[in-house]
Structure 1
Amino acid sequence: MYSVMERGSAWTIEEGYGFAEDLEVTEEGGCLAGANPATVSETAVRRGMKQLGSLGSGNHFCEVQKVEHIYDQEAAAALGIERVGQVVVTIHCGSRGFGHQIAEDYVKLAEAKQKDFGFNLVDRQLSCLPLQSEEGKAYLSAMACGANFAWANRQLLMHGVRQSFASVFGRKARAREVPLVYDVCHNIAKMEEYEINGQAQRVCVHRKGATRAFPAGHPELPEKYRQVGQPVLIPGDMGRYSFVLVGAQGSMEQSFGSCCHGAGRRQSRTTAKKSMSSKDLLNQLDARGVTVRVHSKNLLTEEAPQAYKDAQQVVNVVHNAGLAKLVARLKPVIVVKG
């Protein structure tokens, strides 16, 4: 567990759960610097040990999808998306209870320290720590442990996907046959450099419900994507579609190299659960050609398609605003939820 916190995806590769080329197309190479397990509570460690390699519930998912439409043939080819009808798999999950516990621990610490730092906040969710304080530095270190756990977790799940496909088709799993397009963070704070008022400045970019969207030519991109931009993955809902985009220059000028992480909800989970039964939802999805496997059917209606905004409209705004460019639309075929 401590190796996972410190080394992220690299640990999983060394243990045989993936291939070296996976790290080349993972943000930060699957390991955020500065992770120190000493800043993480034993409670968080215990929770993480039980959940490493698991998907989780809520809006987390593993979807087998097919390419429904290609908007940009050149960019799609660079990402390995070759044709309409091609099968792809999208995995959305994070650091599970491990990351949640880290957040809880440091929110409590921040609450206790508000007066010491001269803050007077009305909502505990706004609790904060100065970056240069000892407590702030400890949080960034613990958060890096959480990010590394999340990368390792997704790498393990991807290994399971590869093994499943290999089993079905009766062959050994190879990276080139089920290649990783990109693994990108969401809900993370990172130190990055931007031009602000004509001067280069290093700032802390907090992406909450957002992902990185660096444009073509950015030095932090892998060579294979340097000409087209960073892959940007925007899930929609399990009944309609999700999208693949690439970062555009507008993101550097308007949103600190960032783009939305999803379409966003239009109904609360409580409202969605009241809107229809799980049986009706399963029938609705089946009529659309979508097969669902879920741990608890009672929670399924929280993620009903009608609970979310239309992702097509959202990505059109993103594209037209110049934050990212549309590459492909993906249609769900099989949905697995924890």
Structure 2
Amino acid sequence: MVELTEIHENVYEIERTGEMRVPARVYGSASLIEEMLEEGDLTLTQVRNVATLPGIQTFALVLPDGHQGYGFPIGGVAAVDLDEGVISPGGIGFDINCGVRLLRTGLSYKDIAGQESILADRLYQTIPTGLGKGGYLNTDISDVRGILESGMEWMLANGHATADDLDHCEENGHLPGDPNAVPTEALKRGVNQVGSLGSGNHFLEVQRVTDVYDPETAAAFGIDADDVVVMIHSGSRGLGHQTCSHFIREFERHYPDLVASLPDKQLVYAPLGDRLADKYWGAMNAAANFAWANRQAMTQAVREVFDALFEATEVELVYDVCHNIAKEERHTVRGREKSLLVHRKGATRAFPAGRPEIPDAYRDVGQPVFIPGSMGSHSYVLAGGPRSLELSFGSTAHGAGRLKSRTQAKGEYTAGELQKALRARGIFVRARSGGTLTEEAPGAYKDIDEVVRVSDALGIGTKVARTTPLANIKG
């Protein structure tokens, strides 16, 4: 059993023992910790394993939505020294740059009331969903290579984005990607998937802003009570998954002695500076560029649908954040500023006011953060908290976090009953299959209100506004 000690309110620690290079931290309330422990000590074992990584700084971390993942827990953060550290695909995830963006529409709820079902139908008809091919944009291999290299810059140059879209996207929607590092099979899977939602927990949701907690910050973000907004959650699709799978196998083949020595082979890594580490980093950045372009293409689809259905719409990007990525950042460790590679897996960057990475429009209030709930619960808009750099390397939760496995959910819910219950609450859901609905049942997720309450209480992500779903499309 892994011993967990409460050291402050909402802060628990696993003492450094054995091969651990740093302690491990878990942020959560008593109820959230209890839910983590109900799956055994799998999440805690994984974060303890993460604490053994070479070059890891300060502590390995699990955020309030944490649960078991591949190698790293989902809701995990690990920052490693650039000279002594490593890069681990398990610390990023298979869906590279899975992320969330929020769009404001210029409409209030009264403007769309009574048309939610029509809106759900039109969005579902316009944006491809599910595991198969098809995207809002028609692209070929050459286009995909351009996207892998330039991300949102390619979208702007080809008429699929505005300069304002780039200004309101994390990293301006572009990391130094290497298309040549992306496996050929992965590249092929990206053809005609630009502007597609995918399956699983990915969604596009029309929401109503119901509560504003911080009017000044909400005004800076351009949102107010009763506004209609659109939240998009998707990533790099099959291209990212294939890229991650390829490099995990490459790492295992190239470092067999390392794999044999690890507490869990899913933790496999490459030392920074090694050829294979550089190649994976370039491929990861390229897949991240693809994910930004994918969400941007869906933004264009939303603009098309809203323009066709409503008058005086002005669909604008509030912000786009990724939650499966490793990025080079400057952080203060033991009083000294240094460059680190920060792995965030199911974790959202949440920089406080003043950081130069934040767009000019938001720099005085903090980076926008979006934490979705489920298709039957609230979602939240937050701002990077004042203690996020100190406590979490500038990170907070990425969602409610799963409470039940997909298999458990399928055994407890039926699609027809879910749709009926949601419709009775004014939520119109469209999905490719009944299986997707049952897997993603609201009861399969943790309490989003509690996850956000803990983030706010810790000061790693402060509440700005809360939304409720009106129309949701899924794969």
What TM-score comes out, normalization by structure 1 length?
Answer: 0.96
The equivalent position to 2:169 in structure 1, one of 26, 29, 43, is: 26
- For 1:99-114, what aligned pairs fall within 5 Å after superposition? 99-114=240-255
The CA deviation at 1:116 is 5.5
Indicate which of 279, 298, 307 corresponds to 1:166: 307
Give the structure 2 partner of residue 87 of structure 1.
228
Instruction: Report what 1:6 is aligned to.
Output: 149
Rounded Cα–Cα distance in structure 2 between residues aligned with 1:129 and 1:116:
12
Matched residue count: 332
Q: Which runs of 5+ in 1 are unaligned?
A: none
Deviation at 1:115, TM superposition (A): 2.9
2:192 to 38, 45, 50: 50
Deviation at 1:276, TM superposition (A): 1.3
Q: Is this contact kept in 2: 1:233–1:245, CA < 8 A?
A: yes
Change in CA separation of 1:125 and 1:118 when aligned onto 2, cut-off 3 Å: closer
Deviation, structure 1 residue 271: 0.3
**Residue from 316, 334, 343 that aligns with 1:197:** 334
Instruction: Verify: 1:261 aligned to 2:261, yes or no.
Output: no
| Matching residue within 192, 209, 214 for 2:346 | 209
**1:26-76 CA-partner distances (Å, limit 9, x unpaired):** 00010012x111111110001111322100010000000000100000000
Q: Partner of 1:121 in structure 2?
A: 262
- Shift, 1:310, TM fit: 1.0
Q: Displacement, 1:130? A: 1.0
Structure 1 segment 214-233 matched on structure 2, within 5 A: 214-233=351-370
- Tell me the residue number matched to 1:75: 217
Q: CA RMSD in A?
A: 1.3
Match of 2:160, SS state, is coil
Once the two structures are superposed, residues 101-154 of structure 1 have per-residue CA deviations (whole angstroms, 9 ceiling, x without a partner) of 000000000111223658623544211111111000100000001100000000
Aligned match for 2:408, one of 271, 274, 280: 271
Contact 1:30 1:148 in 2 (8 A): yes
Aligned to 1:244: 381
In structure 1, distance between residues paired with 2:260 and 2:150: 35
Which residue in 1 is equivalent to 2:458?
321
Match of 2:325 among 166, 170, 188: 188
Aligned-partner SS, 1:138: helix
Q: Secondary structure at the match of 1:181?
A: strand
Instruction: State the 1:2 CA deviation.
Output: 0.6
Structure with the largest fraction of strand: 2
Task: State the partner residue of 1:133.
Answer: 274
Whole-angstrom distance in 2 between the partners of 1:42 and 1:259: 34
Give the AA of the match of 1:278.
A
Is residue 171 of structure 2 the alignment partner of residue 17 of structure 1? no
**Closer/same/farther in 2, CA of residues 118 and 337 from structure 1, 3 Å limit:** closer
Percent identical residues: 50
Displacement of 1:15 after TM fit? 1.6
Whole-Å Cα distance in 2 between the matches of residues 197 and 118 of structure 1? 31
SS at match of 2:242: helix
Q: Provide runs of 4+ in structure 1 moved above 6 Å.
A: none
CA deviations 1:11-33 (Å, max 9, x no partner) are 11222212110111100010012
Q: Is the 8 A contact 2:350 2:461 kept in 1?
A: yes
Distance 1:130 1:55 in 2: 34
Q: Distance in 2 between matches of 1:140 and 1:283?
A: 45
In structure 2, C-alpha distance between the alignment counterparts of 1:32 and 1:239, rounded to whole Å: 34
Q: Answer whether contact 2:259 2:265 (CA < 8 A) is retained.
A: no
* Partner of residue 471 from structure 2, selected from 327, 334, 337: 334
Instruction: Report the alpha carbon displacement of residue 197 of structure 1 after superposing the two structures with TM.
Output: 0.7
CA separation of 1:78 and 1:170: change in aligned 2, threshold 3 A? closer
2:205 is the counterpart of 1:63: yes
Once residues 233 and 436 of structure 2 are traced to their aligned partners in structure 1, the CA distance between those partners, rounded to angstroms, is: 17
